[in-house]
Chains A and B, each alone.
Chain A
Amino acid sequence: MTLSPRAGLADGRLECAIPDHKPLLTETQAVSEANRCLYCHDAPCIQACPTGINIPEFIRRIATGNVAGSAETILEANILGHSCASVCPVEVLCAGSCVYNEMEQPAIQIGRLQRYATTHAYDAGMRFFTKGAPTGRKIALVGAGPASLACAHELTRLGHEAIIYEGRELAGGLNTTGVAPYKLQAGESLREVAYVQAIGFTIRNGVHVGRDVTFADLERDHDAVFLGIGLGPDSRLSMPGEDLEGCEGAVAFIERMKNDPACSVAGIRRALVVGGGNTAIDAVRELRALGVPEVTMVYRRGEAEMSGYAHELAQALQEGVKVRYWSAPLAVTGEDRVTGLQVAPTRVDAEGRLVIDETQTSMLPADLVLKATGQEKLAAMVAGIAGIAVDKGRIRVDAATGQTGHPRYFAGGDCANGGKEVVNAAAEGKRAAQGIHALLTTQAGTAPAAAR
């Protein structure tokens, strides 16, 4: 996919055809929803938000007509509060803990209220935070996803110079390239990047660390390095036919669908998505939303074992997606492009192991096969750096500071937590900034990199 450097987004991208599932609330809607909030003491919703947004407070401010104050409450805790409002799986986070669930009444629509407030601030160009007094310290951040953006923003507030190196031409990480368009489209993600960046840090797009610059370069020129590299490409299935045209990783496909105007689903009548996680559910829902008539998820186990959220699956089923449980893919078939997927039935044996019965295969016809069985871990990228420990593909960090085994390297987001949500990346990025700040302000003996 080619995009001219910092070109921004082209028109006519497929994602633009997918409507918002939870449109911006009107003032009347927002105020009446805000007034339902009970303003709980020690509210359980706050505890369920990884960034600890003071939810009753921001909601009350919407109710009183203090929308600017509401936005500040949100962004003070979570500078990515604008995208989080739309992409957070609130059903399992804040809203999932709302006390209304205990009364069997609909939980407060926290995400939508949050979006109402942040959109107001964005539209009005309100800014709440400024650069701190310069400390002369310089930090490199690798990757311009939510983790690094939150980290860079906090570092800048604390007076440090932050420079993000991003391999892609577009910043924002998976907010720009991965999340479902009915939640957030790339344009809105880039708007958030611009808003966050306006505090005054640098993003160098198109610079892949390890290829265009080395980690050694970064270490030499900066006082600390933050790793916000996320996860790698879609995992391979290692089966025949996997590289045929029409068979692709789901995350790669979603990125093209969101960012590349050349991506098209014209002529695709039957699509299969292999996997049972949230990426698989996103992919099937997106294909349906794009008008693909027959979309089926193919999963090796049963519904109970699926790692995707039940509320998302329920939506997918409502939208006409089919699910084929207990089916393992064996081979992608086709001559010059995909025509189908060969699958075999599976079951769990007495020890709980998955058994594939290759004697009874069947053929599922398809024009498109997407692989959504996970993403590779990028930790190999940093495996050579002294002291950095990698555990099951995750960069091991101190939970309170984000510090890795190498004292000047910090990490957060998917690369450290193994793949969670945007809001976790935002929380971890901010925490790491505070860890870096603590390190640099107590490190009396070391001279700033600028002076070396």
Chain B
Amino acid sequence: MADLSVNFAGITAPNPFWLASAPPTNTGAQIMRAYDHGWGGAVWKTLGTPIRNVSARFAANDWGGQKMMGLNNIELITDRPLDVNYREIEEVTRKYPDRATIVSLMFETEDEWKENIERSIEAGAKGLELNFGCPHGMCERGMGSAVGQEPKILERITNWVMRTSTIPVIVKLTPNISEIVPPAMAAQHGGAHAVSLINTIKSLMAVDLDTMIPVPNVGGASTNGGYCGPAVKPIALRMVGELARHEEFNLPISGIGGISTWRDAAEFIALGCTSVQVCTAVMHHGFRIVEDMADGLSRFMDEKGYRTIEDFAGLASRNFRPWEDLNLNFKVVAQINADKCIGCQLCFVACRDGSHHCIYLPGDGTGKAPDDGGRVPHVAADECTGCNLCSLVCPVESCIEMVEIDRGLPEVSWKQFTSGQATLPEYVWKH
């Protein structure tokens, strides 16, 4: 059996599945219920100077008949009194000493930070997470993403925290920036022990066309919020991947953004994370999802022979490279398995209208597809650019395979080509 336990910047937990700071971690009762389901840790809903929340707060992006492919919220940090929160943190850390109970903080003045770091440590917190990511409501007041977007301020506040904190400090990064490396480096320079990312992405979910009010409707108007859920996973992966491969960045990473299954979690770990955090998937399906997450990940690890999370953390990172390092002589072409093909011709229309028109139909007059009266399309291998599109639209599992063509050419990247280190064969236009 694989060992799922982690030691993340000195914070230990029985598994890498942690709840992200959000509604599922609002109260001690919730977190204890989550722990009973098996969550390895939880980042408490961000504490700060008490705020007021609005109603309504959420809106979702349904897609293809599936609910909540993306979730958007305009909720702020905790709206419960700090005393109540600290009392509950104390109870949780006492009852569940083996879990990674982390307190998320967002304050304005150095004194406020200091006081609340001390109170968190007193309540038994295993670590602190600095919320420099909230993209709505708090940033207008100079907190949240307003900090995360300014590396200098981020570094300064991290410094304040490091002066007081005796427990590990995680800086939570905002994706609402154009480069993820500078704020992450600022966290490192500021002395943080780790980073977590991503917080939500600044967004406007939708417009109600009957009322002409964007959603969620708060008494006749709406505002921008934070986007999260399955839709944001690719964005989060890219940011995590960029930090993980960066030569000078060397803090542990807690991956967040669209994680719903053990596979999602494993991908973040493969890119270099040593813990992951989940919010939307729990808001959608409840704490119970951790049971399959733990089971699935452990079976996967057993199957692959990884004993610990460390064994495979970062294995994919070295294969995530800048474009200019990719081999331009590598070539794949689409191949349709006629036995599996159901004749929907989606590959044809996608390639014709959306790619390079390399797929032909029986009886289309070009003579390129065998005219057998059937509906199975034919890929002209010499025209196929190997873009993948047809295999992405094909509804039948492994019906279109992208097959590697060995052209007997050496590996040549754009970097090598433009620096004169290597040559490339003449480019031939097919269309």
Tell whether A pairs with B: yes
Q: Which residues of A contact B (CB under 8 A)?
A: 31-32, 34-36, 38-44, 63, 99-100, 102-103
CA A418 to CA B401, docked complex, whole Å: 49
Contact partners of B395 in chain A: CB under 8 A: 38, 103
Q: Which residue of B lies closest to A65 (CB)?
A: B209
The residues of A that contact B65 with a CB separation of less than 8 Å are 31-32, 34-36, 63
User: Which residues of B sit under 8 angstroms from A102, Cβ to Cβ?
Assistant: 341-343
Determine whether the beta carbon of B346 is less than 8 Å from that of A38.
Answer: yes
CB 8 Å contact bits of B319-349 with A (1 = contact, 0 = none)? 0000000000000000000000111111011
Q: In the complex where A41-B349, A44-B375 touch, is A35 in contact with B344 (Cβ < 8 A)?
A: no
Q: Nearest chain A CB to B342's CB is how many angstroms away?
A: 4
A47 to chain B, nearest CB (A): 10
Chain B 74-109 per-residue mask, 1 if CB under 8 angstroms from chain A, else 0? 000000000000000000000000000000000000
- The distance from the CB of B223 to the nearest CB of chain A, in whole angstroms, is 25
Query: Are A42 and B345 neighbours in the complex by a CB distance under 8 Å?
Result: yes
Cβ < 8 Å to A, chain B residues 340-368: 341-346, 348-349
The answer for the CA separation of A34 and B396 in the assembled complex, in Å, is 18
Contact B348 A41 (CB under 8 A): yes
B contacts, CB < 8 Å to A: 64-65, 341-346, 348-349, 375, 395-396
Which of A36, A40, A103 interacts with B346 by CB under 8 Å?
A40
| Complex CA distance for A42 and B341, rounded to whole angstroms | 15
Interchain CB contact (< 8 A) of B343 among A34, A39, A99: A99
User: Which chain B positions have C-beta within 8 A of A100?
Assistant: 342
B396 touches A39 (CB 8 A): no
CB distance from B338 to the nearest CB of A (A): 12
A99 touches B342 (CB 8 A): yes
Residue in contact with A103 in the complex, picked from B64, B342, B349, B375, CB distance below 8 Å: B342
B346 contact set on A, CB distance < 8 A: 38-41
B351 to chain A, nearest CB (A): 11
How many Å from the CB of B151 to the closest CB on chain A? 44
Q: Could you say which residues of chain B place their CB within 8 Å of the CB of A43?
A: 344
A44-B375, A103-B396 known; A38+B64 contact, CB < 8 A: no
Complex Cα gap A40–B349 (Å):
9
Nearest chain A CB to B95's CB is how many angstroms away?
41
Q: Which residues of B are found within 8 Å of A39, using beta-carbon distances?
A: 346
For the complex, give the distance between the alpha carbons of A102 and B396 in Å: 10
Expressed in whole angstroms, the Cα–Cα distance for A103 and B342 within the complex equals 7
* CB-based contact B345/A41 at 8 Å: yes
Chain A hits for B375, CB < 8 A: 44
Q: How far is the CA of A100 from the CA of B342 in the complex (A)?
A: 7
Give Cα distance in the complex from A31 to B64, angstroms: 9
Closest chain A residue, CB of each to CB of B345: A41
Contacts of A34 in B (CB 8 A): 65
Q: By the criterion CB–CB under 8 Å, are B345 and A40 in contact?
A: yes
Q: Name the A residues within 8 Å of B341 (CB-CB).
A: 102
A38: B residues at CB distance < 8 A: 344, 346, 395
Contact yes or no, A99 B344, CB < 8 A: yes
- Shortest Cβ distance from B65 into A: residue: A35
Q: Do A40 and B64 touch across chains, with their CB atoms under 8 A apart? A: no
Shortest B126–chain A CB gap in Å is 43
Task: Return 12 A-B CB contacts under 8 Å, by A number.
Answer: A31-B65, A34-B65, A35-B64, A35-B65, A39-B346, A40-B343, A41-B344, A41-B349, A44-B375, A63-B65, A100-B342, A102-B342
Query: Is A44's CB under 8 angstroms from B343's CB?
Result: yes
Interface centre among B64, B341, B344, B345 (most CB of A within 10 A): B344
Max count, chain A CB within 10 A of own CB: residue among B342, B343, B348, B396: B342
Give min CB distance, B61 to chain A, whole Å: 14
In whole angstroms, what is the CA distance A102 to B345 when docked? 13
10 smallest CB-CB distances across A and B, nearest first, come from A35-B65, A102-B342, A41-B345, A41-B349, A99-B342, A40-B344, A32-B65, A99-B344, A35-B64, A38-B344
Distance of A66 from chain B, by nearest CB (Å): 12
Apart from A41-B349, A103-B342: 6 A-B pairs, beta carbons within 8 A = A34-B65, A35-B64, A38-B344, A40-B343, A41-B344, A43-B344
Q: In the complex, which residues of chain B have a beta carbon less than 8 angstroms from the beta carbon of A32? A: 65
Residues of the A chain whose Cβ atoms lie less than 8 Å from the Cβ of B348: 41
State in angstroms the CA–CA spacing of A42 and B349 once bound together: 9
Q: Which of A38, A41, A44: most chain B CB closer than 10 A? A: A41
Report chain B residues within 8 Å CB of A42: 345
CB distance from A30 to the nearest CB of B (A): 10
Q: How far is the CA of A42 from the CA of B395 in the complex (A)?
A: 16
How many Å lie between the Cα of A348 and that of B64 in the bound state? Answer: 55
| Chain B hits for A31, CB < 8 A | 65
Contacts of B343 in A (CB 8 A): 40, 44, 99, 102
Residue of B nearest to A40 (CB): B344
Bound CA–CA A187/B344 (angstroms): 38
* Distance of A32 Cα from B67 Cα, bound (Å): 11
The residues of A that contact B396 with a CB separation of less than 8 Å are 103
> How far, in whole Å, are A203 and B344 apart by their CA atoms in the complex?
43
A35 to B64, CA, bound (A): 6
Docked Cα-Cα span, A43 to B346, in Å, equals 10
Q: How far is the CA of A38 from the CA of B64 in the complex (A)?
A: 11
In the complex, what residues of A have CB within 8 A of residue B342's CB? 99-100, 102-103
Q: How far is the CA of A174 from the CA of B64 in the complex (A)?
A: 39
Distance, CA A102 to CA B344, complexed state (A): 10
B residues less than 8 Å from A41 (CB atoms): 344-346, 348-349
Cα–Cα distance between A42 and B344 once the two chains are bound (Å): 8
Min distance, Cβ A444 to any Cβ of chain B, angstroms: 38
Determine the distance from Cα of A42 to Cα of B374 in the docked complex, in whole angstroms.
Answer: 13
> A99 CA to B376 CA in the complex, in Å?
12
- Taking the closest CB of chain A, its distance from the CB of B171, in whole angstroms, is 41
Q: How far is the CA of A39 from the CA of B395 in the complex (A)?
A: 11
A103 to B64, CA, bound (A): 20
Alpha-carbon gap, A239 to B409, bound state (A): 87
Instruction: Please name the residue on chain A nearest to B352 by beta carbon.
Output: A41
A44 to B346, CA, bound (A): 12
B345 surroundings in chain A (CB, below 8 A): 40-42
A36–B65 Cα distance when bound, in Å, is 8
Q: How far is the CB of A35 from chain B (nearest CB, A)?
A: 3
Residues of A within 8 A of B64 (CB): 35, 63
Chain A residue, CB-CB nearest to B396: A103
Give bound CA distance, A341 to B342, whole Å.
50
Distance A176 CA – B342 CA, assembled complex (angstroms): 38
**In angstroms, how far is the closest chain B Cβ from the Cβ of A292?**
42
Q: Could you tell me the distance between the alpha carbons of A150 and B425 in the complex, rounded to whole angstroms? A: 64
**Complex: how many Å from CA A63 to CA B64?**
8
Q: How far is the CA of A43 from the CA of B342 in the complex (A)?
A: 11
Q: Which residue of A lies closest to B375 (CB)?
A: A44
* Cα(A38)–Cα(B375), bound, Å: 15
* Minimum CB–CB distance for A362 against chain B, Å: 50
C-alpha gap A39/B348 in the complex (Å): 13
Closest Cβ of chain B: how far from A25's Cβ, in Å?
A: 13
- How far apart sit A31 and B63, CA to CA, in the bound complex (Å)? 11
Bound CA span A100–B395, Å:
10
Q: Give chain A nearest CB distance to B249 CB in angstroms.
A: 42
The minimal Cβ–Cβ distance linking A29 to chain B, given in whole angstroms, is 10
Name the residue on B nearest A101 (C-beta): B342
In the complex, what residue of chain B is closest to A42 when comparing beta carbons? B345
Docked complex Cα distance between A99 and B348 (Å): 15
Determine the distance from Cα of A433 to Cα of B64 in the docked complex, in whole angstroms. Answer: 40
Bound complex: CA A35 to CA B395 (Å): 13
Q: Which residues of chain A have C-beta atoms less than 8 A from B344's C-beta? A: 38, 40-41, 43, 99
| Minimum C-beta distance from B379 to chain A (A) | 15
Give the Cβ gap from A265 to chain B, nearest Cβ, in Å: 43
Of B348, B395, B396, the most chain A CB neighbours within 10 A belong to B395
State in angstroms the CA–CA spacing of A40 and B346 once bound together.
6
Question: Which A residue's beta carbon lies closest to that of B361?
Answer: A42
Alpha-carbon distance between A43 and B395 when the two chains are bound, in angstroms: 14
